[in-house]
Amino acid sequence: MSYATKSPWVIHYDASSCNGCDIEVLAALCPGYDVERFGIINTGNPKHADIFLVTGSVNERNIHVVKEIYDQMLEPKVVIACGICACSGGIFHDCYNVIGGVDQAIPVDVYAPGCAVRPEAIIDAVVQGLGILEEKAKALDAKKKEGE
């Protein structure tokens, strides 16, 4: 296992969530689930984060924000769509302003459906994400070595 998977720092962005999933994300950090056991920290800063947790669907307005946060994260990085709205737009999919799931804006690596998504599901998704992170880290390493 590379170090990338031992200290996954997340950034959480509420695209247009009803706050249901947001509360579950925060619940995962609380003593009940205590994800810091796995080195997971909720940073407020894309430049420090490895994993991008998005809750809620993407709309005309926040799509630029989602894209910008994604762009500002450094490689290797993983995107996790938390909750059904983030996965596909959910019950809001046909609202006039809603574009759809997060994958309409940026490449998503793991989908964690649910309304609201349960903390166990989030943790499970993050663990899956770590596998992808590991692969990406290795690819980046290889690229770096090639560069040299």
Partner 1 sequence: MIVELLAFLMIFPLVVAAILLVVRSNGARKVIVGGSALVIAVASLALVALYLGEGRVEFAFSSEALSLACAAVDVALCAIVIGYAVRYKNVLAGVLAVVMIALVLAFEAFFAHGIEVEYGFYLDSLTLLMVAVIGVVGSGICVYALGYMEDFQAHEPEGAKDRRPLFFALMFLFLSAMYLIVFSDNMAWLLTGWEVTTVCSFLLIGYTKTDEAIRNSFRQIIMNMIGGIAFVLALFYTTGSLGILSLEEFVTVGNAFPAVAALPAVLLALAGITKAAQMPFHTWLLGAMVAPTPTSALLHSSTMVKAGVFLLLKLAPVFAVSLVPSVMVVLVGGVTFLLCSFMAISQSNAKRVLAYSTIANLGLITACAGVGTPEAIWAGMFLLLFHAVAKSLLFLCVGTAEHHIGSRDIEDMDLLFERMPRLARLMMLGIMCMFIAPFGMLVAKWATLVTFVNTGQVALILLLAFGSAATFMFWAKWLGKLAGIASGAENVEGTVHRSEWIATGVMAALIILCCVGMPVISWMIVEPYVYSVYGTFAQDISNGNLWMAAIMCAFIAIVLFASLGGQGKARRVDVYLAGVTAEQGTRRFINSLSGTSDATARNWYMESAFGEKTIRPVGEVCCSVIIVIALAAACAGMLGLGL
Partner 2 sequence: MYGFETVAVTIVATLVFAVLAPIVGCLLAGLDRKISARMQGRVGPPLLQPYYDVRKLMGKENASVNGSEGVYVTCAFVFTLLAGGVFFAGGNLLLSVFLITLSALFFIMAAYCTRSPYAEVGAARETLQVMSYEPMVLLMAVGYFIAAGTFDTAGVFSLDAPVVCTIWGVLIGFLFVLTIKLRKSPFDISMSHHAHQEIVRGVTTEMSGPTLAKVEVMHWCENVLFLAWTALFFVWGNPISLVVAVVVALLVYFLEIFIDNNFARVKWQAMLKGAWIVALVFGGVNIAVLAFI
Residues lying near partner 2 in the complex (CB under 8 A) are found at 2-4, 6-7, 9, 29, 31, 34, 36-39, 41-45, 47-48, 50, 74-76, 137, 140-141
Tell me the residue length of the chain: 148
β-bridge mates for residue 51, sequence order? 10, 78
Total chain residues near partner 1 (CB under 8 A): 7
Look up residue 80 and give its two tokens: 């996790």
Nearest CB to partner 1, comparing residues 43 and 128: 43
Binding mask 47-76 for partner 1 (x = CB under 8 A): x----------------xx--x---x----
Chain position carrying tokens 């003593």: 31
Binding partner of residue 2 among partner 2, partner 1, none, CB under 5 to 8 Å per kind? partner 2
**C-alpha distances in angstroms, 100 versus 3, 10, 15, 30?**
34, 23, 11, 30
